[in-house]
Amino acid sequence: MMLQDIRTTVLRDAVRPNVWDVVALIIVVGAMVLIVYGGEQTTQPLSALDVAPVSLDPANLPLYALRTTLRMLLAIVCSLVFTFVYAALAAKSRRAEIVLIPLLDILQSVPILGFLTFTVVFFMNLFPGKVLGAELACVFAIFTSQAWNMTFSMYQSMRNVPKDLEEATRSFHLSGWQRFWRLDVPYAMPGLIWNAMMSMSGGWFFVVASEAITVGNTTVTLPGIGSYVALAIQQQDLAAIGAALLTMLLVITAYDQLLFRPIVAWADKFRFEQTASGNPPSSWMLDLFRRTRALRKLSVPFAALNRTFSNLRLNWPRAWSGPVRHAPPSQLVDGLWLAVVIVGCAYAGWKTYLYLSATLAPADILAAIGYGLITLVRVAVLIALASLIWVPVGVWIGLRPKLAERIQPLAQFLAAFPANLAFPVFVVLIVRYGLDANVWLSPLMILGTQWYILFNVIAGASAFPTDLREAAASLQLTGWRWWFKVVLPGVFPYYITGAITASGGSWNAAIVAEVASWGDTHLTASGLGAYIAGATERGDFPRVVLGIAVMCLLVTLFNRLLWRPLYAFGERRLRLG
Amino acid sequence: MRDQVKETSLIEIKGVSRLFPKGSGEDLVVLEKVDLTIRAGEIVGLLGRSGSGKSTLLRIIAGLVSPSSGEAKCRGEIIAGPPRGVAMVFQSFALFPWLTVLQNVELGLEALGIDSAERRKRALAAIDLIGLDGFESAYPKELSGGMRQRVGFARALVVHPDLLLMDEPFSALDVLTAETLRTDLVDLWTDGRLPIKSVLMVTHNIEEAVLMCDRVLVFSSNPGRVAAEFRIDLPHPRNRLDPAFRQLVDSLYARMTQRPEPKLPSTASAGVGMVLNHVSSNSISGLIETLAGEPYNGHADLPVLAGHLQLEVDEIFPLAEALQLLRFGQLSEGDLTLTEAGRRFAHLDTDERKKLFAQHLMENVPLMGLIRRVLDDRPAHAAPAARFRIELEDYMSEHYADETLHTIVSWGRYAELFAYDEQSETFSLENPH
């Protein structure tokens, strides 16, 4: 081939669309059409919901799935924006940090579904008579389930930016704004994406739970998979529930393949490692887009825009300009700030006291705490049981790489699947066999969250060093000695990570798991979850507040007194490598 | 000529000190009353042990740390924040792993607001100059250490700085790679192809300093001071085997071993507050054995010994000093000689070595004596590490207190003078067997 020929081919190839462009274009345009359609639906008046109520016709399911997915996407965008602002504020300003970080810690342990009561009322009043208000309440519920751990991850990354890179940005005169986009955000990216993925997994549970809500006299049913299932429960239609489960399966698979895997594969370059890793994540979707020609050209203006945006010559206010300060911070301003915080807290506490004491007696508080302890026992027993089952299974799978490769995505998938969709199946069984609700409703709490234990243990066992296994084999360690001296300490840090997530999720699930119904049959297990759910249904706000406060307290104590020390112990003593 | 030189002084440091506040009130002096002038056209080296404040001085000039007292000026202006016309090369490279080679190099230009065409042209020129052609679109993790540091150089050179600061730029590289990079850089410098006026480099490698610099400032430790200044007029390219080169290396070694002697506890006067650099008992035994054997027969020239053992200055000095502290060796004028006890140690078996080590530890390390006294006095024969840490922090920074405790724990364990529980951080006399 002549040099001239090569040139023209290259030139032509550079802009001519190829077959991958067509595939990618269909996906992009399809997504845009669906988003616009979904958006139009939300501006309708609330009465439209009564005109076209949710129906059990399976033909409607794709549309319902779309509405549900759109709520999820909107919530994750909100969570991202919130994360950037909140984490940046907390990481850059010491005074903001004093307030923001403990606040975040508490928010993390607030039961999201308990929240719904207030947010629905708030958003409905904000957009009276519009579907938008109810939609926003639902999105807000998902947002509250997603934002906190993402924000924590971002904040921690921003605090741990490597010192040499930080010095390099200063030495090369990058402005605060440039530094944020060039150093802080990329450095935080892997952790942020992992947490966003966990958040999305958890989010499906809440989107399904918050689509059909009753607060006092108001019942709002937003078209979606969650309300579809709620209706199926009312009409005792097991087939419809099966159809909903199947749809959800497809939706989560699509979301995983089309959205998250590409992002994870793309974000691999942000991992802060100086050596190339053996097995980078891959995604056919990302490969498809990378193979397209015309669409890649289309992305050029976006890249340029991104560059211009991150190069804007903005700067943080001087007081925020990073951890190195030339003058020691002013004690006077610190004192004033602390005083403002204390007065604010005292005022809020007083207001809460007044509000609650108007309707509640000390006996109510004791009752709530009593219910809380019952739920606490449930969570503890369930985590113990799930650990007894899944730790050995996880170790067994994790030590077999071929098997682990296939099971691991399945376990992650199960963790993302909203378990509340499957609740009716169990309730039917309990009703049919007349089982004790107090005992048999409990497993529902851990139905969706036990998988976190499984896939973390699998990850831990997969990462267990081969040389240690060989050493154990050559020392003839077998039986319980092998478990307790070799493998369990090795997977302990991973197990704890999984158990923390599972336990947090179970507390949240209590609100929907301790009360269940099938048609006209209502089952209730006594516990804090049922207490909050009952108060919500009656529109009894003081008791909702009390229930949430008690749950917050118990979750926080549970975390501080049990999980954190265990986690610290695992990180200090048992982390391999 | 004289006037011209005066005009072109880039950096002027006058009486600069840097203190770090300590818990117990008194500040820790890292850098004490340092003077330094850097003129155009020279490579200046700051040579010293870790903790001698040389990196702090470099960061003061880079505008990353501010001096506690004294005056630091760049081109006649007080340095407040990173000055224009000063660029830095980092020991750890400090490359952004999510940016390609080209993007890393362009970063400094972007910050200056230079338009994209000019940016690309200059970046490609710098990449070309430093020998990175063909790697423009690679990510740092795809490159070897040497290539990464070349990116570090290109990124610093592309902004055309007057002064290039280098913080131990070759110490994270293997011997061969480091040598190639050094000679490449010196070649570019002597050919006048680098867009810079002067270089200031921090190093703890004596030969590197003699190979590259026109002027070397030797720093002493605790507190960091300029102990001596050497001019190096050898023409480039310099030959390591040249007798004049060896002569300079030897005198620098001698100068660096000279300083610590007066403060060593010939009379145990330094007391409990003596900083103990962590050196493992295995390394001490190994060094004694090497010294006692052929060809040294109990006496060695430090540069020769360092070369033989492939140890950097930063590694051989603490070892040699530990030997001197424990009276197993004697340091003078860059030579290390075994004492009578040292020779004896070399020929003992494990248990007897431990006994001799314990004896020397008790006699020569006051902190050890203190720990034993406290443990003997207490009824439970146990004491928390905090008890000693607090006392140490009266004399030294937290970091040094930690290192000193770490050292005494490992020596004491080896000598079987006490037991230590890491979990509860307690010393005790319990014998595990």
Question: For residue range A408-422, what is the model confidence (pLDDT) as tens digits?
Answer: 778 877 888 888 778
Beta bridge mates, B216: B45, B230
Report the chain A residue with the minimal C-alpha distance to residue B422: A573
Which residues in chain B land under pLDDT 70?
1-8, 22-26, 258-270, 431-433
- Tokens encoding A355: 């509000």
Q: What CA–CA distance (Å, rounded) separates B139 from B96?
A: 9
Interface test with B, best of A170, A172, A307 (most B CBs within 10 A): A172
Those of residues 169-198 in B touching chain A at CB distance below 8 A are: none
Instruction: Work out the percent of chain A whose per-residue pLDDT is above 90.
Output: 11
- Mean pLDDT over A468-482 rounds to 83
Q: What is the pLDDT of residue A382?
A: 93
Per-residue pLDDT at A43: 62
Residues A128-142: tens digit of each pLDDT: 777 788 888 888 888
Reported as type and span, the H/E element at residue A332 is helix A331-359
Instruction: Give the span between the Cα atoms of A92 and A183, in whole angstroms.
Output: 14
pLDDT recorded at residue A293:
65
User: Which residues have CB under 8 Å from A140's CB, separation 6+?
Assistant: A75, A119, A123
For residue A179, the chain B residue with the least C-alpha distance is B111
Q: Which residues of A touch B92 (CB under 8 A)?
A: 162, 164
Supply B237's token pair.
């390219």
Angle made by CA atoms A532, A534, A540, in degrees to the nearest 5: 80
- What percent of chain A has pLDDT above 70? 84
Q: Which two tokens stand for residue A201?
A: 């997994």
Number of H helices, E strands in chain A: 28, 4
Q: Is the pLDDT of residue A255 over 90?
A: no
What pLDDT score was predicted for residue A281? 67
Quick one: pLDDT at residue A322?
Answer: 44
Backbone CA torsion sign across A454, A456, A457, A458: positive
Residues A138, A144, A145, A146, Cα dihedral to 10°: 110
Query: In Å, how far are A3, A22, A278, A286, B423 from A13, measured between CA atoms?
Result: 15, 15, 32, 20, 65
Q: Which of residues 350-389 of B touch A (CB under 8 A)?
A: none
Rounded to 5°, angle at Cα B253 from B251 and B259: 100
**Tokens 């007080």 belong to residue:** B78
Is A168–B110 a contact, with Cβ atoms under 8 angstroms apart?
no
**Chain A contact for B295 (CB, 8 A cutoff):** no
DSSP 8-class letter at B328: S
- Write out chain B residues lying below 8 Å of A326, CB-based: 66, 80
Q: Is B18 on the interface with A (CB under 8 A)?
A: no
Describe the strand order of the beta sheet including B299-301 as a list of residue ranges.
Answer: B299-301, B335-338, B329-332
Neighbours of A26 (CB within 10 A): 10
Between CA B104 and CA B155 the distance in angstroms is 7
Model pLDDT for residues A425-443, shown as the tens digit of each residue? 888 888 888 888 888 888 8
Secondary-structure percent of chain B, ordered helix, strand, coil, rounded to 5: 45, 20, 35
B87 to A171: CB separation less than 8 angstroms, yes or no: yes
Quick check: A273 and B84 CB within 8 A? no
For A198-215, the pLDDT digits (tens) are: 888 888 888 878 887 766
Interface contact B141, partner A, CB < 8 A: yes
If you average pLDDT over each of A36-50, A342-356, B226-240, which comes out highest? Answer: B226-240
Q: Using one digit for the tens of pLDDT, what is the confidence trace for A510-531? A: 888 888 888 788 888 899 999 9
A505 neighbors A452 (Cβ within 8 angstroms): yes
Residue owning tokens 């005790």 = B428
Within 13 Å, how many C-alpha atoms sit on residue A32's CB side? 5
CA closest to A186 among chain B residues: B98
A321, closest residue in chain B (CA to CA): B81
CA triplet B38, B43, B48: central angle to 5 degrees?
85
- Whole-number Cα distances in Å, A514 to A111, A365, A439, A527: 14, 20, 10, 7
To the nearest whole angstrom, how far is the Cα of B59 from the nearest Cα of chain A?
A: 9
The pLDDT value recorded for residue A348 is: 85
For residue A58, give every residue at least 6 positions away whose Cβ sits within 8 Å of its Cβ, in sequence order, or none. Answer: A240, A243
Q: Distance of alpha carbon A125 from its chain centroid, rounded?
A: 27
Nearest-CA distance from A489 to chain B in Å? 16
When mean pLDDT is compared across A158-162, A234-238, A273-277, A489-493, the lowest value belongs to A273-277
Structure tokens at B151: 């990116």
B112 to chain A: which residues are within 8 Å by CB? 173
Contacts of residue B319, defined as CB under 8 A and 6 or more positions apart, other chains included, come to: B279, B283, B284, B287, B311
Among the ranges given (A7-21, A171-185, A471-485), the one the predictor scored with the smallest mean pLDDT: A7-21
Q: To which H or E segment does residue A573 belong?
A: none
Q: How far is B325 from chain A (nearest CA, A)?
A: 34
In angstroms, the CA B253 to CA B334 distance is: 5
Please enumerate residues of A whose Cβ is less than 8 A from a Cβ of B: 162, 164-165, 167-168, 170-175, 178, 182-183, 186, 189, 269-276, 311, 313, 324, 326
- Look at residue B382 and give its three-state secondary structure: strand
Q: How far is A306 from chain B (nearest CA, A)?
A: 13
Which residues have a Cβ under 8 Å from the Cβ of A48 and sit 6 or more positions away?
A131
What average pLDDT does this structure show over A301-318? 66
B8/B40 Cα distance (integer angstroms): 6
Number of A/B CB contacts below 8 angstroms equals 76
Evaluate the CA torsion angle A17, A20, A23, A29 in order and state its sign: negative
- Which residue, among A574, A540, A432, has the nearest Cα to A215 in the 3D structure? A540
- Residue A485 carries which DSSP code? I
Would the CB atoms of B111 and A164 count as touching at under 8 Å? no
Residue (of B42, B113, B107) closest to A312 by Cα position: B113
Q: Reduced to 3 states, what is the DSSP secondary structure of residue A490?
A: helix
Classify residue B4 as exposed, middle or buried by CB count within 10 Å of its CB (0-12, 13-18, 19+): exposed
Shortest CB distance from B97 goes to which of A168, A274, A324?
A274
Q: How many Cα atoms are found within 13 Å in the side-chain-facing hemisphere of A72?
A: 28
Q: Report the complex ipTM.
A: 0.74
Those residues whose C-beta lies under 8 Å from the C-beta of residue A175, and which sit 6 or more positions away, are: A313, A314, A315, B111
Strands (E) in A108-239, as ranges, are 212-215, 218-221
| pLDDT (tens digit per residue) in A353-385 | 888 788 888 888 899 999 999 999 999 999 999
Tell which phi-psi region holds residue B63, choosing left (phi > 0), alpha (psi between -120 and 50) or beta: left
The pLDDT, as a whole number, for residue A7 is: 41
Q: Which residues contact A60 (CB under 8 A, 6 or more apart)?
A: A54, A223, A228
- Which of A173, A269, A311 lies at the smallest CB-CB distance from B98? A269
